[in-house]
Chains A and B, each alone.
Chain A
């Protein structure tokens, strides 16, 4: 009888929701690598070994200047980490990666070796939101990985609802949009209409490399290379896809809950 079995299962398992953020964050997989750190000062003169291995053109170095790695374009393949002869590019193993300003994703310059993590929304907006954040999710060319690892936050292991965060079925019910995908031209109109339908003040969260800069498809004429081309973005969460922990961290930072 499933009724008895399921009740027994519940009793045996107890609460399966992670204790984070009250307790420690669950560890990232050991081969995940986390956020990157770029010490431009460690680069050898005229070395550009990392440039030709980057599939998305996230790394640039013009003559006489320091290397710059745009973590918004990065799909975290870590080919550059392996290619770097001076260990100027390294993996930190850290999951927090969300930033408020696009330029805070560019690493390499002195003082900007690591991400400048997101500040919370201003007090007025946070007060307006209270303990609730309702989001409408729009996938506009997302490959279903960012979508899946956003969805997973609603399962019992993560229980996003305990933070008052919920994905709603109408833009009219939403405080903002959580965007995935590079914004295909075929989704442009739908995104604009959805954005317009969200009551102001509204926030936009771009999840994943595609939504930030086009991801693996950067430069294709069939899309807009990210959400910023269509609507203003308040929070950028890098990754391909970002680990659920990275997405949760970003949402909580935005709400000033970390």
Chain B
């Protein structure tokens, strides 16, 4: 028993895209941090990030949690230590990958973690993922898929335990895409950092670049000019439109519904071309920079963009209508790959996958920062937790993003697009959340002397959600894996970093 056991431990509160001095972040013995974090998760908080910051006395663990209903974030850390600590995962499974990651990176052992194995570490040219969970029995067979897949897709390994067609358990082993992004950020930001942030997950360039820019702006005690915040919000919705449209097409393709597949493949490109109208690059590379944006969306360009946007929205609405009109599609989507609300909440799912399991969570609404403080979108939620629900949430978001863009393009704020960034605060911590098209993107920076990064933690929504896919497959026919996988469409490189 230690002295703080009965005291209420209070996290330091902060809003999205703001900064705290490290001296204001409460520091507790690690057992207290685990207990306090668990208590807050029990009260409905979510774990956004859990990571190690090494120093000469060991490693301290930093916990960042979100109180969605209160629109607030909270942070606390442990004193530096080495060796074992009581696992948070044992009572709160949403911490399971975070604790594996901290163990892999800093050798802090979460005692009681039920499945402690590497997250990304490689050995002999491939990630050594150790043992896979095995179901025993004479009728059981194991199916191994990947890392290289049949189409044009990133690499990852899927291990199914099957009884006939039925999947009893799926374990997902990633790490093949590991490029050392977080390691390279230590002592940064560097000259290449912004380009690396844009390619954490290349299909989420605007989302990750905006999160990083907001972290830097918070540390610098400044904000991007309003016009830049407006433009980032527009680019974020264009990114969502392109990816959601692509996903709807891919889902249609996986149930052999070719009209919507063909149409959406083309319309997705039309949305990418709208981003290219703004900055020249279909993925938005080079647009978001700390302190603002590099290109402006001048009135004539905005008018031309709006005209094309309207045509593309009309096209995609038509293609979505065919999809939901077809009995054959609905019967393949409904009841396939179900993740129940309780499971989604326990695993800390975010984004489309969470909202399709009836969880109301959307950073744009819960933790508005930047332009979303002035212009909100309704949260698209659907019950069911199946492929149909995940497709439905995307369709709703396509419509709402279209409406949002229509409104925003009509009312741009005047002014500068970029301001110089002052120096970064030393010995501070800044957090930025952005609702990317997959879900919550979380960037946390801890600075040391001179405002350089001592640690930088990136949590792509895929980090939370891959476990959701594994759960969706339980009791499902293995032949439905492609369909379930597309309905999540998670990032490999965003997870592997």
Q: Is the CB of A155 within 8 A of B325?
A: no
> Is B184 close to A, CB under 8 A?
yes
Q: Is the CB of A167 within 8 A of B202?
A: no
CB neighbours of B244 from chain A (8 A) = none
Are A56 and B192 also in contact (CB < 8 A) when A5-B321, A6-B322 are? yes
B448 to chain A, nearest CB (A): 22
Are A151 and B152 also in contact (CB < 8 A) when A29-B273, A32-B276 are? yes
Q: Is the CB of B122 within 8 A of A241?
A: no
CB neighbours of B179 from chain A (8 A) = 141, 182, 184, 217, 220, 222-223
Chain B residues within CB distance 8 Å of chain A: 120, 122, 124-127, 147-148, 150-155, 175-181, 183-184, 191-192, 194-196, 198-203, 205, 246, 259, 262-263, 265-266, 268-269, 273, 276-283, 285-286, 295, 318, 321-323, 325-326, 491-493, 496
Name the residue of chain A whose CB is nearest to the CB of B270.
A157
> Is A31 close to B, CB under 8 A?
yes
CB neighbours of A33 from chain B (8 A) = 280
> Is A75 close to B, CB under 8 A?
yes
Among B151, B181, B322, B493, contact of A137 (Cβ-Cβ < 8 Å): B151
Name the residue of chain B whose CB is nearest to the CB of A32.
B280
Among A2, A77, A141, A145, contact of B195 (Cβ-Cβ < 8 Å): A77
Interface residues on A, range: 35 or more
Q: Is the CB of B202 within 8 A of A169?
A: no
Within 8 A of B (CB), among A10-60: 16, 29-33, 52, 54-56
B439 to chain A, nearest CB (A): 16
> Is A119 close to B, CB under 8 A?
no
Apart from A139-B155, A169-B151, A222-B180, what are 16 other A-B pairs with CB-CB below 8 Å? A2-B322, A2-B326, A29-B273, A29-B276, A30-B277, A77-B286, A136-B148, A143-B199, A144-B202, A152-B265, A155-B262, A184-B178, A190-B125, A190-B148, A190-B155, A240-B281
Q: Is the CB of B286 within 8 A of A187?
A: no
Q: Is the CB of A139 within 8 A of B154?
A: yes
Are A186 and B259 also in contact (CB < 8 A) when A5-B318, A29-B280, A222-B178 are? no
Among A55, A138, A157, contact of B269 (Cβ-Cβ < 8 Å): A157
Are A243 and B322 also in contact (CB < 8 A) when A29-B276, A157-B266 are? no
A183 to chain B, nearest CB (A): 10
CB neighbours of B269 from chain A (8 A) = 152, 155, 157, 244
CB neighbours of A75 from chain B (8 A) = 195, 285
Q: Is the CB of B153 within 8 A of A216?
A: no
Q: How far is the CA of A154 from the CA of B199 in the complex (A)?
A: 23
CB neighbours of B120 from chain A (8 A) = 186
CB neighbours of B148 from chain A (8 A) = 136, 138, 190, 194
A236 to chain B, nearest CB (A): 19
CB neighbours of A143 from chain B (8 A) = 199-203, 493
Q: How far is the CA of A144 from the CA of B180 in the complex (A)?
A: 17
Name the residue of chain A whose CB is nearest to the CB of B174.
A186
> Is A156 close to B, CB under 8 A?
yes
Among B199, B263, B295, contact of A9 (Cβ-Cβ < 8 Å): B263
Q: Is the CB of A156 within 8 A of B265?
A: yes
Among A157, A184, A189, A241, contact of B283 (Cβ-Cβ < 8 Å): A241
Q: How far is the CA of A138 from the CA of B323 in the complex (A)?
A: 31
Q: How far is the CA of A5 from the CA of B319 in the complex (A)?
A: 10
Chain A residues within CB distance 8 Å of chain B: 1-2, 5-6, 9, 16, 29-33, 52, 54-56, 75-78, 136-152, 154-157, 167, 169-170, 181-182, 184-190, 192, 194, 210, 215-218, 220-223, 240-241, 243-244
Q: How far is the CA of A38 from the CA of B200 in the complex (A)?
A: 30
CB neighbours of A181 from chain B (8 A) = 177
Name the residue of chain B whose CB is nearest to the CB of A240.
B285
Name the residue of chain B whose CB is nearest to the CB of A52.
B191
Q: Is the CB of B194 within 8 A of A55?
A: yes
A11 to chain B, nearest CB (A): 13
CB neighbours of A54 from chain B (8 A) = 191
Are A190 and B176 also in contact (CB < 8 A) when A31-B295, A55-B191, A75-B195 are? yes
CB neighbours of B278 from chain A (8 A) = 31
A226 to chain B, nearest CB (A): 13
From A9, A16, A157, A185, name the one whose CB has the most chain B CB atoms within 10 angstroms. A185
Are A187 and B176 also in contact (CB < 8 A) when A2-B259, A141-B493, A217-B196 are? yes
Q: Is the CB of B192 within 8 A of A147?
A: no
From B176, B279, B491, name the one whose CB has the most chain A CB atoms within 10 angstroms. B176
7 residue pairs bridging A and B, Cβ less than 8 Å apart: A144-B203, A155-B269, A185-B125, A189-B126, A190-B176, A216-B198, A244-B269
A215 to chain B, nearest CB (A): 7
A21 to chain B, nearest CB (A): 18
B389 to chain A, nearest CB (A): 21
Among A186, A218, A244, contact of B178 (Cβ-Cβ < 8 Å): A186
Q: Is the CB of A216 within 8 A of B195?
A: yes
The 10 residue pairs across chains A and B that have the minimum distance between CB atoms: A143-B202, A145-B202, A31-B280, A189-B125, A155-B265, A169-B150, A222-B180, A216-B195, A29-B276, A2-B322
CB neighbours of A157 from chain B (8 A) = 265-266, 269
